[in-house]
DNA sequence: GGTGCGTGCTAAATGGGTTTAGCATGACTT
DNA sequence: AAGTCATGCTAAACCCATTTAGCACGCACC
């Protein structure tokens, strides 16, 4: 409503001092010799005028804009994004920063343009996020701008934040074992080709490795492994149905994600099998779906929010190199029971 | 990788001209009298140095930062957000703008702070978005900064973008009527209290009004109306189950949203009723769920992406006052059939 | 009384651009 | 020869802050 923003010069004038003095006082410069009286007058004037520094002008001089660039392939606008962005926004807010969100669709030309756009605005750092953890192509970024890869990795920018998939995978299996399952355990969704795909392996292969090592540690083996190329409910449904028709004695299913699990529920229900009475199910992601299913799906969550948070913390702390692995919390619902 | 960004002064020096000339040429000023030769030299120099203007510095002089503030209560990080933000980002990108995304959790203190934060960065305009269309509390914003309300309305800032709920509601009913339904139509979820709540009525009451008017236009009446306070699957399930147990002869259900519909599917399936063989279902939102259900849920979509897009277009065009109603497209799947 | 020093403050440069006002130069009038 | 005008370009102010360099004053000391 006030027609004009107060500038530092306005504050100084009202306080009867120079802009220099006002600047120093408002920024709490340590070794200045300005009087207590000057401090009081400047603070009062700033308060009276509702003065807020112009960040752009300040940034021009200081090279700090209190602004972070968050560039993602498609994550900004997907269910997976929610947590990533939310965590980032929160951590940024806590540090008095603000976030510029851009989306590239994974297109290198748009990626290049996005980088330029945030650099044009003198961001203090850039976060690259992807929907699927992967090795990410990243155009050149001028040295001096910190970069962290979120849910992605890149050899040129070695600071990255990833879910601790290996441990998460192991936990899913342990959940079953703790309930007494030792036989009839099925792995649903794992796919060698997906696993070999460098652009997805960052996450998938670790999850699978964790699963397998937990099985092995307990001396167990899967009764069946059903491969699925596209991790959607439809495929989970078909795959489970086919498995059941083949007569696989499934007592527990480890699904590679919740959408596959959703499909499995549908097929199981059609076959007259109950969860968890006849078959226990454990899964990954903690998709929104997981809570809607009946019974609720027990799943090892992707810790998106914590990841987003960590990414900006690392960025602002001056990115230590290396991978930050964020633990995947298990969300216990009702889909796991003791074997009949 | 280049160690320093080229400045306008660098370009001017390389071209052998003044910064003034370089600025005018690069900005394509119309009535300047600079020679063709000067143009060529400046353009070549800019190209050679990879010059990109510093947006912050320019903004200082011009008051245009090519940046938009997108402030939401909680929308930034929910499934509802996806489209809203995506649409906004796309329209912004098309116009050479960039978006600062902030989240307030609906807390007035954080809202005030968020506004200050974007204003500190001299944004060209502000979009306020909410998850549920509603009358929104908005702290003072200095005159001169355009504001548009997205999925929300506010009497002080009259430019708003909303889904065309009335027409959408009517369409849902017409979908049923077209298939020949005239009897046994149930309205599931409508709730008088919700409807009276000013903070939600912007959307809900219009949707209901559209539904009712379409029924009336065809001389039809609901066989039952089931009220639901919390629009979640669990409640949809309970409510449908209770209705069935009461012996309501339901042949078609209009669900107030997809999550309620999800619950209805579960209850119907338990009761041995098939969709759409025994009961047709139509719903609203086009939640991600809708595609996962078996059979796929026919639903009247919330046009989030189009809304986000429209919001920035209005903002950049210098916001015409009034409501922009965005059509709600019907997404046809397989949940509606002819009555048996 | 000159020198040195601490105290309290400010002028001016700086960052990177835009914009206003106006300076040379040459051609053309009258 | 003086005045007018178009042409092609630049100096300098400005936007809003930070920062460096340094001024003016008073006091202590020899």
B2: nearest CB among A78, A90, A142: A142
For position B331, what pLDDT does the model report? 97
Backbone angles phi, psi at A103, to 5 degrees: -130, 140
Nearest to A139, CA basis, from A121, A112, A114: A112
A120: nearest CB among B53, B76, B289: B53
Helix H or strand E segment including A19: helix A19-26
- What sign results for the dihedral spanned by CA atoms B69, B74, B76, B79? negative
Give the lowest-confidence range in A2-6, A299-303, B30-34, B251-255.
Answer: A2-6
For position B137, what pLDDT does the model report? 65
Residue B74 CA, nucleotide D16 C1', distance (Å): 33
Average pLDDT over residues A128-157: 78
For position B118, what pLDDT does the model report? 96
- A239-256 residue pLDDT tens: 999 999 999 999 999 999
For position A124, what pLDDT does the model report? 95
- Average pLDDT over chain B reads 91
Of chain B, the percentage scoring pLDDT greater than 70 comes to: 92
Average pLDDT over residues A267-275: 95
**Region of residue A115 (phi > 0: left; psi between -120 and 50: alpha; otherwise: beta):** alpha
Using the C1' atom of nucleotide D7, identify the protein residue whose alpha carbon is closest. Answer: B33
SS in 3 state form for B138-168?
CCCCCCCCCEEEEEEECCCCCEEEEECHHHH
Q: Which domains does chain B have, with CATH numbers?
A: 8-53 (1.10.260.40), 63-163+305-326 (3.40.50.2300), 165-302 (3.40.50.2300)
Which span out of A151-165, A310-324, B208-222 was modeled with the highest average pLDDT? B208-222
Burial letters A274-293, b for 16+ CB under 10 A, else e: ebbeebbbbbbbbbbbbbbb
Q: Would you call A100 and B103 a contact, using CB atoms and an 8 Å cutoff? A: no
Does residue B73 contact residue B105 with C-beta atoms inside 8 Å?
yes
Q: Which residues touch strand D (CB under 7 A)?
A: A 5, 7-9, 19-20, 23-24, 26-27, 51-54, 57-58, 60-62; B 16-21, 24, 32-35, 37-38, 57, 60-61
Quick check: B230 CB within 7 A of strand C? no
User: Is residue A200 pLDDT above 70, yes or no?
Assistant: no
Tokens coding B315: 């903002």
- Average pLDDT over chain A reads 91
CA distance B217 to chain A (A): 36
Average pLDDT over residues A133-137: 59
For position B204, what pLDDT does the model report? 83
Contacts of B83 in chain A (CB under 8 A): 77
Contacts of B86 in chain A (CB under 8 A): 76-77, 103
Quick check: B42 CB within 7 A of strand C? no
CA distance A60 to chain B (A): 7
For position A14, what pLDDT does the model report? 95
- Residue A225: helix, strand or coil by DSSP? strand
Closest-CA residue of B relative to A267 is: B294
CA trace torsion B164, B165, B170, B174 (10° rounding): 80
- Which of A91, A99, A103, A120 is the mutation pick for testing B, counting most B CBs within 10 A? A120
Side-by-side strand order, sheet with A252-255: A224-227, A185-189, A252-255, A280-285, A298-301, A330-331
- What sign results for the dihedral spanned by CA atoms B178, B183, B188, B194? positive
pLDDT band at residue A228 using 50, 70 and 90 as cut-offs: very high
Residue A317 CA, nucleotide D15 C1', distance (Å): 32
- What sign results for the dihedral spanned by CA atoms B296, B297, B298, B301? negative
pLDDT band at residue B1 using 50, 70 and 90 as cut-offs: very low
Average pLDDT over residues B43-61: 95
For position A197, what pLDDT does the model report? 63
User: Is residue A189 pLDDT above 60, yes or no?
Assistant: yes
User: Is residue B32 pLDDT above 80, yes or no?
Assistant: no
User: Is residue A1 pLDDT above 50, yes or no?
Assistant: no
Nucleotides on strand C with an atom closer than 7 A to protein CB?
A: 7-12, 14-21
Quick check: A122 CB within 7 A of strand C? no
Does residue B300 contact residue B286 with C-beta atoms inside 8 Å?
yes
Stronger pLDDT, A11 or A131, i.e. the higher one: A11
Query: Which own/partner pairs from B190-199 qualify as long-range (CB within 8 Å, at least 24 positions apart)?
Result: B190/B225, B190/B227, B190/B256, B191/B227, B191/B228, B191/B229, B192/B227, B193/B229, B194/B229, B198/B134, B198/B135, B199/B132, B199/B134, B199/B135
User: Is residue A264 pLDDT above 70, yes or no?
Assistant: yes
User: Is residue A202 pLDDT above 90, yes or no?
Assistant: no
- A52-87 residue pLDDT tens: 999 999 999 999 999 999 999 876 556 677 789 999
User: Is residue A199 pLDDT above 60, yes or no?
Assistant: no
Does residue B194 contact residue B154 with C-beta atoms inside 8 Å?
no
Does residue A82 contact residue B68 with C-beta atoms inside 8 Å?
no
Which residues fall within 8 angstroms of residue A11, CB to CB, at 6 or more apart?
A: A22, A26, A42, A45, A46, A49, A51
Average pLDDT over residues A257-279: 95
For chain A, the residue count is: 340
- Pairing outcome for strands B224-227 and A280-285: unpaired
Stronger pLDDT, B298 or B111, i.e. the higher one: B298
SS in 3 state form for chain B?
CCCCCCCHHHHHHHHCCCHHHHHHHHCCCCCCCCCHHHHHHHHHHHHHHCCCCCHHHHHHHHCCCCEEEEEECCHHHCCCHHHHHHHHHHHHHHCCCEEEEEECCCCHHHHHHHHHHHHHCCCCEEEEEEEEEEECCCCCCCCCCCEEEEEEECCCCCEEEEECHHHHHHHHHHHHHHCCCCCCEEEEECCHHHHHCHHHHHHHHHHHHHHHHHHHHCCCCCCEEEECCCCCHHHHHHHHHHHHHCCCCCCEEEECCHHHHHHHHHHHHHCCCCCCCCCEEEEEECCHHHHHCCCCCEEEECCHHHHHHHHHHHHHHCCCCEEEEECCCEECCCCCCCCC
Give the lowest-confidence range in A103-112, B187-196, B305-314.
Answer: B187-196
Distance of alpha carbon A184 from alpha carbon A190, whole angstroms: 17
User: Is residue A8 pLDDT above 50, yes or no?
Assistant: yes
Give the lowest-confidence range in A27-36, A188-197, B114-123, B247-256.
Answer: A188-197
């Amino acid at each position: 409503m006030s027609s004009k923003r107060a500038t530092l010069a306005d504050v100084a004038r009202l306080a009867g001092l120079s802009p220099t003095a006002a600047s120093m006082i408002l920024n709490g410069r340590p070794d200045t010799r300005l009087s207590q009286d000057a401090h009081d007058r400047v603070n009062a004037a700033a308060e009276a005028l509702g003065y807020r520094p112009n960040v752009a002008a300040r940034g021009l001089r200081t090279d700090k804009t209190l602004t972070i660039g968050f560039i993602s392939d498609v994550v900004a606008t997907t269910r997976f994004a929610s947590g990533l962005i939310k965590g980032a926004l929160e951590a940024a807010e806590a540090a008095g920063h603000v976030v510029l969100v851009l989306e590239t669709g994974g297109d290198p030309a748009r990626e290049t343009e996005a980088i330029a756009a945030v650099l044009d605005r003198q961001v203090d750092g850039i976060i690259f996020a992807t929907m699927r953890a992967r090795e990410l192509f990243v155009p050149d970024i001028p040295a001096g701008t910190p970069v962290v890869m979120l849910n992605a990795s890149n050899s040129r920018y070695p600071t990255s934040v990833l879910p601790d998939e290996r441990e998460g995978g192991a936990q899913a299996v342990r959940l079953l074992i703790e309930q007494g399952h030792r036989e009839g355990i099925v792995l649903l969704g794992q796919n060698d080709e997906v696993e070999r795909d460098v652009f997805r392996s960052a996450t998938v292969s670790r999850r699978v490795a964790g699963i397998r090592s937990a099985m092995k540690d307990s001396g167990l083996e899967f009764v069946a492994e059903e491969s699925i190329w596209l991790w959607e409910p439809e495929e989970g449904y078909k795959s489970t149905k086919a498995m059941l028709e083949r007569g696989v004695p499934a007592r527990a299913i480890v699904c590679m994600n919740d959408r596959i699990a959703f499909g499995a529920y549908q097929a199981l229900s059609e076959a007259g099998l109950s969860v968890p009475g006849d078959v226990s199910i454990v899964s990954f992601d903690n998709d929104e779906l997981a809570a809607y299913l009946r019974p609720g799906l027990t799943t090892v969550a992707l810790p998106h929010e914590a990841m987003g948070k960590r990414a900006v913390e690392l960025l602002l702390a001056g990115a230590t190199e290396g991978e930050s692995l964020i633990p995947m919390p298990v969300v216990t619902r009702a889909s796991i029971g003791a074997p009949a």
